[in-house]
Amino acid sequence: MWRVFILIGVCSVAYDWRADVISFAPLAVNLFGAAFTRTAIGPWVVQWSLPLGAILFLLRRKRLTRAAELPALPT
């Protein structure tokens, strides 16, 4: 489940090279967190987003590894 969640980025920021414009979309959801796009005759636009899933995973990693290392209690 974490693998899928880590690949998703939220809050997209885009930069248009030719017009020197930065745009922000707080409700955007992107896959893989970064992209280059270009229309047929338009400028390149670089877009990236905050990897919220990866940040949450790093914050919870110690707890997850501790839970996996605990031995099972005999019954």
Mean pLDDT estimate for the chain: 81
pTM (whole model) above 0.85:
no
What does the pLDDT look like over 15-26, one tens digit per residue?
988 888 899 988
pLDDT of residue 44: 84
pLDDT of residue 69: 67
Amino acid identity of 10?
V
Band of pLDDT at residue 11, cut at 50, 70 and 90: confident
Query: Which 3 state secondary structure label does DSSP give 37?
Result: strand
Angle at 31 between CA 15 and CA 44, to 5 degrees: 25
Asked whether the predicted pLDDT for residue 64 surpasses 80, the reply is no
